[in-house]
Every structure is written in structure tokens, then in C-alpha cells.
């Protein structure tokens, strides 16, 4: 999965379905569609004032975000529309750490 900085959008969606993206939160942020391709997986955080969800998802269209694999196992039932942003989650950091450690083994062993 590719990472990107400063991707942060508002949504107009409540409930557990796909999120309808309504644009960058302000002019200093980019939209998902301006950085990621359709069907490209990424890690995300969706949050409103009282609810939060992290997971893996993708764009199925320029303004539709599919919550494919929420970390909690099921999508959060958002009672108010969340904002969503691309993020490096703890799971991603562990995976990156493992990859770096495996890549370093030959150097450590003198290879």
C-alpha cells in the first residue's frame, strides 16, 4: 500500500456503508481522488466527534470510499458524518518495521 501526506476529506455519510466524499477539509489538503487510483488500497482513519474507525479501504469512484476491512472487524455505525484521512496505522508501522528488520539481516550477518 502506498502512503500519502495531507489527504483529508469531509463526507456526507452516516451509517455503515460506503462513504461519500465531499471534498478536502480546506485548501491545504488534497482529495483522495487526486492522489490514489480507483481500487488502490490504503489505510485510513474516519472520525467524528464521538466515533472513530481505522482500516483498509479504497476508492470505487472519484467520490466513493469503500470501507473494505475495518480494524474492528465491522464498519462503525457513524451517527454523524465523519471526516476521513489517509494515515499510517499501528499495523502499518509494525509491517514496515518487520520489512526493515528483514532487509537488515544480510548486513548484520556480513552479507
Q: List, for residues 75-95, the tens digit of each pLDDT value.
A: 999 999 999 999 887 766 665
User: Averaged over 26-31, what is the pLDDT?
Assistant: 96
End-to-end CA distance of the chain: 29
Share of the chain above pLDDT 70, in %: 81
User: Averaged over 40-64, what is the pLDDT?
Assistant: 96
Its pTM stands at 0.82
| pLDDT for residue 98 is more than 70 | no
| pLDDT for residue 101 is more than 70 | no
HSE, CB side, 13 Å, CA atoms: give it for residue 22. Answer: 8
Amino acid at each position: 500500500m502506498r502512503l500519502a501526506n495531507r489527504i483529508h476529506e469531509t463526507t456526507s455519510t452516516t451509517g455503515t456503508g460506503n462513504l461519500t466524499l465531499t471534498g478536502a477539509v480546506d485548501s491545504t489538503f488534497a482529495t483522495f481522488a487526486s492522489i490514489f487510483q480507483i481500487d488502490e488500497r490504503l489505510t485510513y482513519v474516519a472520525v467524528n466527534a464521538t466515533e472513530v474507525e481505522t482500516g483498509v479501504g479504497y476508492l470505487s469512484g472519484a467520490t466513493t470510499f469503500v470501507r473494505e476491512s475495518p480494524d474492528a472487524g465491522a464498519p462503525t455505525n457513524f451517527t454523524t458524518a465523519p471526516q476521513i484521512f489517509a494515515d499510517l496505522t499501528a499495523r502499518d508501522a509494525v509491517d514496515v518495521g518487520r520489512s526493515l528488520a528483514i532487509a537488515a539481516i544480510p548486513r548484520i550477518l556480513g552479507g
